[in-house]
A = this chain, B = another copy of it.
Amino acid sequence: MTLNTRGLRAAFLAGALAFAAQAPARAADEAAVKDFLLENGLEVVVIPDHRAPIVTHMVWYKIGSADEPPGKSGIAHFFEHLMFKATSNNAAGEFDRAVADIGGSNNAFTSYDYTVFHETVPPSALEEMMGFEADRMRNLVLTDDVIKTERDVILEERRSRIDNDPQAVLDEEVDATLWQNQPYRIPVIGWMQEMEQLNREDAKAFYDTYYRPNNAVVIVAGDVDPDAVKAMAERTYGKVARGPDLRPRIRPVEPEQNTKRTVTLTDARVSVPSFSTQWVVPSYHTAKPGEAEALDLLAEILGGDNRSRLYQQLVVKQGIASGAGAFFQGTMLDATNFTVYGSPRGDAKLSEVEAAVDAEVARIAKDGVTGDELERAKTRYVRSMVFARDKQDDMANMYGSTLATGGNVKDVEEWPDRIRKVTAAEVKAAAARYLVLDRSTTGYLLPQQQAGN
């Protein structure tokens, strides 16, 4: 049930590409997006989308794993589970049953910067959903029994999703190496030895601090009328008392990076070796104007899809890689990472693939990008946003993740324009400034027999 944000924009793009074959029916009218604040501090964003009688309702809590107290890793994600247990008004499972009874779907996910609960239902059920969400925002019954049962569940989730997966184990230790100080170094699911110690007192303190209307954003995307949504929100969420003001989300930040680091996991379960190299770069929330947009286009040109330099050079021309690419995770509250990766094909060695990727990185930092490839990248990128807008849950995600990481509705709406304004010089400057191998962290996943690779 966890979505690591690393895949979020990648997911947008994948969704967008899958959609590309169809002509969009009728895209949501972005000008009609309404944003309002209830008296208790809850922000509500309504994105009308009348193509189908369906509505996506999401509650974004501005609390993620990077906000956890020291030694309590995993507690943000723990709530992704606890929130489905009994409240003082509803037995455990009642909310789920209500969603299932009307043929809807629901789920939740946790990331470094937010924890999200969402339902997709017919519009007639929206107010009922709001009622359930408003109820569990404050009325969870956190007993020792509930804590123990759900703690066993998250421990098992860690075992099956991380400890049994060499790539996941490597990713954790790469993150702990890349980030020297910033809490993105700690896994969203938590470190096992700390998860085992999470108790009722920890949970109660966390819930009472962060599960408050003034720490949440509700996104409603679908076949609804903004005024009607506002009235519903007031009747449901509006009854929840505002909590104490929260301290600003100021977290430990990253010091200067001065070294080149590597992290190697050799495991018998690995069949094909792979590597990824990461750099610390600014996010949309921390970058100076235009810089995060330039990093998005840099990722697009360098390794965004099959037309990217990495794919064309390594997979198509040289034929040494089965895959190679780049991504930038811009929608984060603090500094974020820019990543390139590759995996060999046939008899090619991992070191050849890495050298070829490094050569492309060095080339783009030295020579920059052509006006032509920048224009094509902008077109692809902006089109991917349009396609994302065309998919109700991607659209809701785009607004929710932006608003939960320090942005606002205008930031989402003006994003395409800001992308269009990026110059080739800005893309080159971003590459030259940030993609420096002497200050990178590379993870290697190796099969047992290639330990010396």
Contacts and interface: CB of A to CB of B under 8 A. Distances in A.
B180 A255 contact: no
B169 A173 contact: no
A251 to B, nearest CB: 7
Range of interface residues on A (Cβ < 8 Å): 20 to 34
A269 to B, nearest CB: 13
A345 interface: no
Nearest to A260: B264
A192 B260 CA distance: 20
Nearest to A194: B252
B192 A185 contact: no
A256 interface: yes
Interface of A: 70-71, 73, 169-170, 173, 176-177, 180-181, 183, 185-186, 191-194, 250-253, 255-266, 438
Identify the interface centre among A180, A250, A251, A265: most chain B CB within 10 Å of its CB.
A180
A155 B262 CA distance: 30
22 contacts: A70-B70, A70-B252, A71-B251, A169-B259, A173-B180, A173-B258, A173-B259, A176-B180, A177-B177, A177-B180, A180-B185, A181-B186, A181-B191, A191-B252, A191-B255, A192-B256, A194-B253, A259-B263, A259-B265, A260-B266, A261-B261, A266-B438
B258 A169 contact: yes
A170 B256 contact: no
A120 to B, nearest CB: 36
Contacts of A170: 258-259
The 6 lowest CB-CB distance pairs between A and B, nearest first, are: A176-B180, A191-B255, A71-B252, A173-B259, A260-B264, A262-B262
A199 to B, nearest CB: 13
A255 B192 contact: yes
A262 B260 CA distance: 8
A72 to B, nearest CB: 9
Contacts of A191: 181, 252, 255
A206 B266 CA distance: 44
